[in-house]
Chains A and B, each alone.
Chain A
Amino acid sequence: MNATITVLAKEVRDTLRDRRAVISGLSGALFGPLLFVVVTNFTVDRTMDEGEDTLEIPVLNAAEAPYLVAHLAQHLIDLKVDAFESREALRASVRGGETAVGLVIDEGFGTALGSGKAARVWVVSDGGNASAQSSVRRVRNALGGYGRMVGALRLQLRGVDPSIARPIAVLSDDVSTPSGRSVVLLGMFTYFLLFSCLLGGVHVAVDATAGERERGSLEPLLTLPASRAALVAGKFAATAFFMAATLGIGIAAFSVAIDYLPLAEMSMDADFGPEECAMAFIVLVPVAILGAGLLNAVASFTKSFKEAQSYTGIAILLPTLPIILVLLNPMQPAAPLMLVPSLSQHLLITSIVKGDPVDSLYLAISAASTAAVGILFGLLAIWRYRSEKLLV
C-alpha cells in the first residue's frame, strides 16, 4: 500500500512537471465545450434563418406574375425587380456566390397561367453552395404553396372538391418536451466529456509504462522491494487521478458553456447547475477507472513510447463506440444496458440533462460494471508486469 502511494505521488508530480502533458490534458478538456458552443450556435443561426427574417431575392419578369409576387411577399420573400438585366447576369452572380438564390419568371407566365397550362418559373441556385440551401428550400416551398393554391382554386371553379387531388394528408405531431428536445443536441455532450476524460490519462499511462522502459528506469524500479502489483496499482491510480481531474474540468467548462448555447432560440431548456455537475461527475467518474486499466494494459504491451502513443490513441476511441451506436439508434435506460460501460453513462447523463431523476440502482450497476472492466484490464497489466517480456 505504501509503495502504491509512493508511486502514485511520484507519477503525479512527474506529470505535473511536464508542461506538454498538462497543456494537452487541459486543452482536451476545454476543446470539447468550446467546439460544442461554436458548432451549435452556427447550426442554430443557419436553421433559424428560415421563417425569421425577410429574404430578398432578385427576380426577372416580375410583371408577368403580380399575384405570385404578392404570395411570396406574404411568406416574407421580397422580390427585387431591377437587380439584374438578364438571366445570364443573374446566373453569373449566383455562380459567383454573391446571390444565394434568384427567380426567373417565364415571359409567357401570365398567358400560360390564364390558359390553364403549366406556367414556368426557374429557381436559379448553386447546388454546391451549402449556405444557400435553406433559402432555396424556402423559395421552393413558397412557390409550391402558390401552385397548390392555384390548383385548388381551379378545381373548385370546375365544381370539384380540391381534396380529391390530395388523397393523403401528412401531418406532424411532435410530442417532445423542451428539455427532451435538447437531448438530441446534448447527446454529444457525454461523448465529448468521455473522450476528454480518457485523453487526460494518456500521457501518464504511456510515460509510466513504455516511457519508463524506454528511459531505462523500469529495470531499477523492479529491483525495489515492492510487488509488481503494487507498482501497477500506483500507475493505475495516477492515470485514474488525471482522468478524473480532466473530467472535473471538462464538466465545469460545460456548465459554463451551456449558458452560451442558444437553447432558448431552439425552445429548449437544459438545467445544468452545480447539483447536476456533481451528479454528472459521479456518473462519469467510473470511466476513469475503466480508462486507467485500459490504457495501462495497452501501454504495457507496447515496446516504445511512440508505439504506446499510437495504440493508446486508438484504445481511447473504444469506450466511445457505444455512444455513437446509441446516437444512431436511440435507447431508453434499462437495467441490462447499465452493464455496458459508456453506454450506461450516456443514458444516465441524458436523464440528468432531461431533468429526470437518476435511478440509484441504475447508477450502482453502471458504476460497478464500468469499474469492474477497468479492474480486469488492470489485472491484465499486472500479469504483463510479471512477465519477463516486459523488459525485453
Chain B
Amino acid sequence: MIEARGLTKRFKDVVAMDRVSFRADDGRVTGLVGPNGAGKSTTLRVLSTVIGADSGAARVDGFDVADEPLAVRRQIGALPHLSGLYPNLTGRENIAYYARMQGLRRREAKRAIDTVIERLDIGDLSDRRARGFSHGEGIRVALARSMVHRPQTVILDEPTNGLDVVAARALRDVIRDLRREGRCILFSSHVMQEVAMLCDDLVIISGGRVAISGTPEEIRRGTGSEDLEDAFVAVIGLDEEPV
C-alpha cells in the first residue's frame, strides 16, 4: 500500500511535483496517468526512494520513504523507465544479482529465480546474454528481476512502452496475477486505453499536480465524459490528444 501526502519536489526552477497526494491500495492496480513531463517519473522515483521529496511525506506498506528507505526498498519491486539490464550477464545472472542484493540466500535465491523465470515464461532468455535481447525481452527479464523477491508493492514506470501487442498483453496478464495475489501495483502510463483496460484506480497528474483521482467510473462521472480519454483531456485542460 502506498500513501503519498503533499509530496513536493523542485528541480532548480521547475516544480516537478506540487503537493501530490494519493493512495494506492493492496489488491488493486493504480494507474498514474499524465502527459509527458507531468511528474509521473519523479513521483515514482520518490516512492522508490531513489530521490527525496523537498516536502510532504509518503509511506510504503507503513514505512516512511525518507526515514526508513531500506525497509521501503525491501517491500518494493521497481521497474524504471529503461530495463537497465547488464549486457554482459545472462538473463538468469541479471535476476540472480537482484535476488542476492535483496538478501535472499543462495538456495532461496535459486528457487525464487526458477519460479519467476517460469512465471514470466522467460526460460529461453535465462542463459542468453542480455546484450542480444530485444526491447520486449529486456523488459520481461527486468520485470522478473524486480519481482524475484516477491515484493508486496510493485512500481512500474511505463512498462508497456515500446512493447509489441503480444508482449504488452503478456505483461498485463502478469499485472493482473499480482493483483489477484493481493499486491499493490502502481504503474505510470500515458496510454489511456491501456489504463482503462487494467486499472482499478486512476491518479491523473498534470503540471506536477494531481488533477483528479478515483475509479475510472468516478472520473467519467466527475468530468461528465463518456470516454476516459475525453475525461483525461477535460481534466488536464488540454485541447489535444495526450501524447
The chain A residues found within 8 Å of chain B, CB to CB, are 2-3, 6-7, 10, 13-14, 17-18, 215-227, 388, 391-392
A3: chain B residues within 8 A (beta carbon): 101
Chain A CB within 8 A of B52 CB: yes
The 3 residue pairs across chains A and B that have the minimum distance between CB atoms: A216-B82, A217-B84, A17-B88
What are 27 contact pairs spanning A and B, CB under 8 A? A6-B97, A7-B101, A14-B88, A17-B88, A18-B88, A217-B85, A217-B86, A218-B84, A219-B45, A219-B80, A219-B81, A219-B84, A220-B79, A220-B146, A221-B101, A222-B50, A223-B48, A223-B50, A224-B102, A225-B71, A225-B74, A226-B70, A226-B73, A388-B51, A388-B52, A391-B50, A392-B11
Q: Are A225 and B101 in contact (CB under 8 A)?
A: yes
Contact residue among A18, A218, A225 (Cβ-Cβ distance under 8 Å from B70): A225
With A18-B88, A388-B51, A391-B50 known as contacts, the answer to whether A225 contacts B80 (CB < 8 A) is: no
Q: Are A224 and B73 in contact (CB under 8 A)?
A: yes
Distance in angstroms from B65 CB to nearest chain A CB is: 11
A391: chain B residues within 8 A (beta carbon): 45, 50-51
With A226-B101, A392-B11 known as contacts, the answer to whether A216 contacts B73 (CB < 8 A) is: no
Q: Are B98 and A215 in contact (CB under 8 A)?
A: no
CA distance A7 to B73 in the complex (A): 17
Give the nearest-CB partner of B83 in chain A.
A216
B190: chain A residues within 8 A (beta carbon): none
A218: chain B residues within 8 A (beta carbon): 84
Classify chain B: how many residues form its interface, as a range. Answer: 35 or more
CA distance A221 to B146 in the complex (A): 10
B49: chain A residues within 8 A (beta carbon): 222-223
B45: chain A residues within 8 A (beta carbon): 219, 391
Q: Are B89 and A13 in contact (CB under 8 A)?
A: yes
A219: chain B residues within 8 A (beta carbon): 45, 50, 80-82, 84
Distance in angstroms from B77 CB to nearest chain A CB is: 8
CA distance A215 to B88 in the complex (A): 12
Chain A CB within 8 A of B76 CB: yes
Q: Are A215 and B84 in contact (CB under 8 A)?
A: yes
Contact residue among A10, A17, A216 (Cβ-Cβ distance under 8 Å from B97): A10
B70: chain A residues within 8 A (beta carbon): 225-227
Distance in angstroms from A303 CB to nearest chain B CB is: 16
Which has the most chain A C-beta neighbours within 10 Å: B45, B71, B80, B89?
B80
B79: chain A residues within 8 A (beta carbon): 220
Distance in angstroms from A131 CB to nearest chain B CB is: 49
Chain A CB within 8 A of B78 CB: yes
A222: chain B residues within 8 A (beta carbon): 49-50
CA distance A375 to B76 in the complex (A): 32
Chain A CB within 8 A of B176 CB: no
Distance in angstroms from B90 CB to nearest chain A CB is: 10
Give the nearest-CB partner of B70 in chain A.
A225
B76: chain A residues within 8 A (beta carbon): 223
A223: chain B residues within 8 A (beta carbon): 48-50, 73, 76, 78, 80
With A17-B88, A226-B101 known as contacts, the answer to whether A215 contacts B51 (CB < 8 A) is: no
CA distance A217 to B48 in the complex (A): 15
CA distance A220 to B51 in the complex (A): 12
Distance in angstroms from A387 CB to nearest chain B CB is: 10
Give the nearest-CB partner of A224 in chain B.
B101
Give the nearest-CB partner of A230 in chain B.
B101
B51: chain A residues within 8 A (beta carbon): 388, 391
CA distance A7 to B11 in the complex (A): 31
Chain A CB within 8 A of B224 CB: no
B101: chain A residues within 8 A (beta carbon): 3, 6-7, 221, 224-226
Contact with A along B102-139 (1 / 0, CB 8 A): 11000000000000000000000000010000000000
Give the nearest-CB partner of B87 in chain A.
A215
Chain A CB within 8 A of B100 CB: yes
Distance in angstroms from A32 CB to nearest chain B CB is: 27
Distance in angstroms from B172 CB to nearest chain A CB is: 21
Which has the most chain A C-beta neighbours within 10 Å: B81, B100, B102?
B100
Chain A CB within 8 A of B201 CB: no
Q: Are B84 and A14 in contact (CB under 8 A)?
A: no
Give the nearest-CB partner of B51 in chain A.
A388
Chain B positions 30-62 with a Cβ under 8 Å from a chain A Cβ: 45, 48-52
Distance in angstroms from B141 CB to nearest chain A CB is: 12
Chain A CB within 8 A of B2 CB: no
